[in-house]
Amino acid sequence: MTNTVDPASCSSWFGGRARLVDLPTHSDERGNLLPLDFDRLPFMPRRVFTVTGVPAGSIRGEHGHRSGEQLLVCLQGKIDLFLRKGYEEATTALTPAGPGLLLGAGVWCRQTYLVSNSVLLVLASEPYDPESYISNWN
């Protein structure tokens, strides 16, 4: 079985710079398995991190990156996303049963954690660099 993430098969915004991607989740009575083979992703991750322990209603993110890509995956809970590129805006939500969000360079993203047990997994194509942040969406 191939576990390729296929960005072309899902919704996209901003000329494809932000798009939902189906993830290869396998579920049965024992639970859920989400295998992410790095060589089958749209980019090779150079950094992986999680966001946990965020109180319900809290906002995180509120930035974009000048270069690189990120794949955002909700492992638990529900997370609303507000996206902006220039003067275009879009909203979507991530849940464990749903797709992930592939973010390209220049897309500003705000995450609102709707429940207190939400867990966000982020795979990034570049190492951490605070100089690459776009904090102001204008």
Per-residue pLDDT in tens (0 to 9) along the chain, 138 residues: 333 344 444 588 898 899 999 998 899 999 989 999 998 889 999 999 999 999 999 999 999 999 999 999 999 999 999 999 988 999 999 999 889 999 999 999 999 999 999 999 999 999 999 899 898 866
Alpha helices, DSSP H, located in the chain: none
CA angle 94, 19, 3 (to 5 degrees): 80
- Please name each of the domains of the chain with its CATH number: 7-23+35-134 (2.60.120.10)
19 forms beta bridges with: 12, 102
- Rg (C-alpha) for the chain, rounded Å, is 14
Close Cβ partners of 27 (under 8 Å, ≥ 6 residues apart) = 33
